[in-house]
Chain A
Amino acid sequence: MPVFDQQETRKPPISQIGAILWLKTNLFSSWINSILTFASLYLLYIMIPPLLNWMIFDASFSFGTINFFGFEIKFSEEMATNDNCGRVGACWPYIYEKLYMYTYGFYPRTETWRPNTVFALTGLLFVIVPLVKNYKYKNRVTLSLIILYPLISYILIAGGFGLLTPVDTDQWGGLLLTLIIASVGIIVSFPIGVLLALGRQSNLKVIKLFSTLFIEFIRAVPLITILFMASFVLPLFLESGNYFDKLLRALIGIALFQAAYFAEVVRGGLQAIPRGQYEAADAIGLSYFQKNVLIILPQALKISIPNIVGSSISLFKDTTLVLIIGLFDMLAMVNLTSNDPYWLGRETEGFVFVTMVMWAILYTMSRYSRKLELRFNTENKN
């Protein structure tokens, strides 16, 4: 009887496994792809090394004092000056020196702990909310947080009420101001936006007309015209002698602007709710208010969460516009600090720094929005 020796399986040819296969299928699958690959490599070659040289290899890092959230770290005894840096690479000591301005603007240096506490509280908020997710009284906790957090933050930052030294809004600036405008803008405009969306979907002709007019008007004009309106014309609309803070005016403009965009996002959610839900709510005799609060809005808002985050991202980007009406947000600090006679001509470093900070924040937000989109997307694809 013939006995078959078990033969070892032959290994696949080297070109069908591992890195070579990957290269072959992903980079050099055809001659056009090969050309594209080399073109991309060339593009990277002309862009990345000069950038790295400027940012790292030719840059100055190691002198001056850095003020990081109020803590001072000294690098060396050597003074940080414009001359010590040279003009070949980036001058990061300029950023160290001005970091305080970029974070807090003209906020009094003795009071730094106050915005810091607010930052810490904000961080804590992100810890607490997921923690109480399964807690019995989670609604009460959330509600009290919604009321308490802005109140405490306002008292801490603005001072006054006989507790803390008041700090004028003129002195708020930098990243602090950017975050304040963005968060106040989102929080204030959201309820207005929901009301406008309901108004636009309403059967009442007059309410529908006004809501539609408002939304369409705001969406048709650039934010800067709204900010100019808020800054120049709004004081004229009020009874004479009413003092109106510049920041507050900008916030009103931004909140109205954003409300129109939120309204459209929420309207999209409202339209996605099947008619049956409305009819069922009517059938069991719920009032308009009950119908919307208990049945329609919870579903509509849930659908529109990814778009709400997306719209908030746009708002965060738009906060930079306040520099045009003379508020000193983080971007405005670039021109302000490089007008300092000791640090002339350091705009590029400033812009790169602000870009990095803004990008990090916005990228995180957009990742988060994409994650939400995937989580809420129950539709089957193909």
Chain B
Amino acid sequence: MYMKKIILDSLGKSQHRGLNFRDMLYNNEARAFFFQIVTFVLVVGLFYTAIGNLFQNIDERGINTGFTFLKNRAGFDILPFLGNYVVNYTPESSNFSVFYVGLVNTLVVAFVGIILSTLIGLLIGIARLSNNYLVAKLAGGYIELFRNVPILLQILFWYNLFINLFPHPKQSFAFFDIMFLNQRGLYLPKPIPEDGFMLVTISLLLGITASYFVKKHYKKKHELTGIHTSTWPFSIALILGLPIIVFLILGSPLQFDIAVLGKFNLRGGMNVVPEFLALTFALSVYTATYIAEAIRSGIEAVDKGQKEAAAAIGLTPTQSLKLIILPQALRVAIPPTINQYLNLTKNSSLATAIGYPELMSAFGGTVLNQVGQAVEILAMAMLVYLVISLFISLLLNYVNNKMAIQGR
């Protein structure tokens, strides 16, 4: 700024020579100000007109406004799944509980889908780099096949196959008479916790915390003295052993309700509906192709010299993988993988097409059709996705910071 003034003065021109129109026209700051004002006015004007029209249209069509509809009775059944059990949903419940049911169901699909897709993605990504020709080609074929088919088509396809291919409840596939699979879904034993089961849960949490501190202690010892101690036996004893001992001492405070074949259908147990199975399967299989590619590119991004250097300083192959290759590969692979988690969560809204009662299907679909207050309902649904995506970007930033190469 100062330099500019000096230069302008030396040229015999003052920057402030009065408000000449010509000067204003060629002044960068004036132009910037003008363009920003124009954009602002245009955008605000657009919003103003749109919202004005909105209120007028709502008035004319006699649509209600406001969020009072959330308290009204919903009056329809929702496919029984986890969301329903969480809020004890009945048709007498309010529209807000439909929102809640939808939210829970969305989160359930996202959670299971993320775990499954990560597992499949890891498997396929590693298989893609295998030196076994057949395995590598099969993994490549898997990626090319599932990546290039629209996800909605895959969801519909698996749902259709599930309903048409799987047997009638009478001829269910049984796994040791505890799990059953038929066209009505998967029947799992339903856990019924009794008194004292809380203690088992608490001891599990205790075990996890304790094993974390044990690990930290031995890591510190390693850094100070160079003596390495394997911590996995401690971890297993604490995480698995402790709850099991508490469980046995309390006399097995957990019963299972196993499904039994009734006259027409299986009764009891925990029914995982086919909509959920098809949706989760399709989402996981589709997202896994992207995760596999991320992992492959991560591993390929590690320079060959790193492996050679690790071997040269005498690390074993396992050590070299654990200490040298993986930390570098994950730095490349994790950010796109987290992005895929967001995509999976967003894609779960496609459940609308098969009627799995998640947010966009139960709340953004059925309630919207009944109440007709599209603006409020869609705004609520969008807000949920915004929050989820904000949360995932925060996670991504945290991971990026954590993994950033530490400068010296």
Contacts and interface: CB of A to CB of B under 8 A. Distances in A.
Number of contact residues on A: which range applies? 35 or more
Contact of A331 (B57, B150, B161, B386): B150
B55 to A, nearest CB: 9
B54 interface: yes
Contact of B364 (A206, A228, A238): A228
A46 to B, nearest CB: 13
Contact of B54 (A27, A203, A224, A237): A237
A232 B368 contact: yes
A331 B155 CA distance: 12
Interface string B116-157: 000000000000001111110010000011011111110011
Contact of A236 (B32, B53, B130, B385): B53
Contacts of B303: 382
B138 A225 contact: no
Interface stretch (A29-37, A73-81, A98-106, A139-147): A29-37
Contact of A221 (B40, B304, B350, B386): B386
A354 B152 CA distance: 12
A306 B130 CA distance: 27
B57 A221 contact: no
Contacts of B349: 222, 224-225
B56 interface: yes
A179 to B, nearest CB: 14
Interface stretch (A8-16, A121-129, A359-367): A359-367
Contacts of A347: 160, 164
Interface in B348-406: 349-350, 352-353, 360, 364, 368, 374-375, 378, 381-382, 385-386, 389-390
A237 B56 contact: no
A229 to B, nearest CB: 6
A17 interface: no
B35 interface: yes
Contact of A206 (B39, B134, B151, B378): B39
A206 B32 CA distance: 10
B346 A351 contact: no
A204 B138 CA distance: 51
B132 A27 contact: yes
Contacts of A281: none
A317 B148 CA distance: 8
A363 B364 contact: no
A351 B153 contact: yes
B36 A225 contact: no
Nearest to A32: B132
A33 B352 contact: no
Contacts of B347: 222
B58 interface: yes
Given A236-B57, A359-B145, A362-B148, A204 B352 contact: no
A321 B346 CA distance: 13
26 contacts: A29-B131, A33-B131, A36-B132, A36-B135, A40-B132, A207-B36, A210-B43, A221-B386, A222-B349, A222-B350, A224-B352, A225-B349, A228-B364, A232-B374, A317-B151, A318-B150, A319-B150, A331-B156, A345-B164, A347-B164, A351-B153, A351-B160, A358-B149, A362-B149, A362-B150, A366-B148
Interface of A: 26-27, 29, 33, 36-37, 40-41, 43-44, 203-207, 210, 217, 219-225, 228-229, 232-233, 235-240, 317-321, 323-324, 331, 334, 345, 347-348, 351, 354-355, 358-359, 362-363, 366, 382
Interface of B: 32, 35-37, 39-40, 43, 50-51, 53-54, 56-58, 60, 130-135, 138, 144-145, 147-153, 156-157, 160-161, 164, 303-304, 346-347, 349-350, 352-353, 360, 364, 368, 374-375, 378, 381-382, 385-386, 389-390
Given A43-B138, A232-B374, 7 more contacts: A26-B132, A26-B133, A207-B39, A223-B346, A228-B378, A345-B164, A351-B160
